[in-house]
């Protein structure tokens, strides 16, 4: 088997494996991420109280996609620029993101991490452990920020239309394919780490 044939075989295997993980374990992974998502949102957004965070079917594309559904209530004074916005505890904001966003980086990262050759089973284990760690970290700067950005977008649209926000720029980046780029980065970093530890050329 030539090097290029081996790469293509492992790339195909990685693609099938990532799809299999999503199909078999996707629902359990999405449920398991809920407490982490709630914790992250509480740390990020100090001006709103989480009323509900759950997984539900919602009409996004075909009508019954699984989404992380977030409902928040204003909890304290917030400044939009130099404009104070007073909290009204009767208010509610509802936003959502597709559960499938949780897996987009994985779908890209696993095939490319497996495509590059390794010298031993130990190196494969190190690479996959590093990949899991990077994907976990990247997920924490993805879905929580995506939901928080939608809440912040409501504030901006209501009280300061057109206001520049790095949070909204980051959310646009994720929505515009950034999750796939993060997958490539995670795969590349895991390969570099595993090869450097084993001093491969």
**pLDDT per residue over 11-48, tens digit each?**
999 999 999 999 999 999 999 999 999 999 999 998 89
* Residue closest to 138 by CA, chosen among 87, 99, 104: 104
Instruction: List the one residue out of 100, 96, 98, 101 whose CA is nearest residue 52.
Output: 96
DSSP β-bridge partners for residue 95: 70
| Percentage of residues of the chain with pLDDT beyond 90 | 64
Confidence of residue 62 (pLDDT cuts 50, 70, 90): low
55: its two tokens: 């997984």
Q: Could you state, in order of their start, the residue ranges of all structural domains in the chain? A: 3-44+103-197
Q: Which pLDDT score is estimated for 1?
A: 52
Contact 86, 122 (CB under 8 A): no
Of residues 124 and 2, the one with the higher pLDDT is 124
Can you tell me the distance from the alpha carbon of 141 to that of 61, in angstroms, rounded to the nearest whole number? 24
Q: What is the pTM of this model?
A: 0.89
């Amino acid at each position: 088997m030539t090097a290029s044939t081996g790469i293509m075989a492992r790339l195909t295997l990685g693609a099938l494996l990532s799809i299999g993980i999503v199909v078999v374990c996707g629902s359990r992974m999405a449920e398991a991420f809920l407490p982490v998502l709630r914790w992250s949102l509480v740390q990020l957004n100090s001006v709103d109280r989480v009323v509900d965070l759950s997984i539900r079917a919602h009409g996004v594309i075909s009508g019954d996609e699984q989404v992380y559904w977030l409902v928040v209530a204003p909890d304290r004074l917030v400044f939009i620029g130099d404009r104070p916005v007073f909290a009204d505890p009767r208010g509610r904001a509802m936003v959502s993101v597709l559960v499938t966003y949780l897996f987009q980086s994985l779908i890209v990262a696993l095939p490319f991490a497996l495509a590059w050759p390794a010298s031993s089973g130990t190196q494969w284990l190190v690479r996959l452990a590093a990949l899991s760690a990077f994907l976990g970290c990247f997920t924490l700067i993805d879905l929580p920020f995506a939901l928080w950005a939608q809440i912040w977008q409501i504030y901006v649209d209501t009280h300061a239309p057109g206001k520049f926000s790095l949070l909204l720029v980051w959310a646009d980046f994720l929505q515009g394919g950034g999750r796939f780029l993060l997958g490539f980065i995670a795969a590349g970093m895991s390969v570099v780490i595993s090869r450097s530890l084993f001093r491969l050329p």
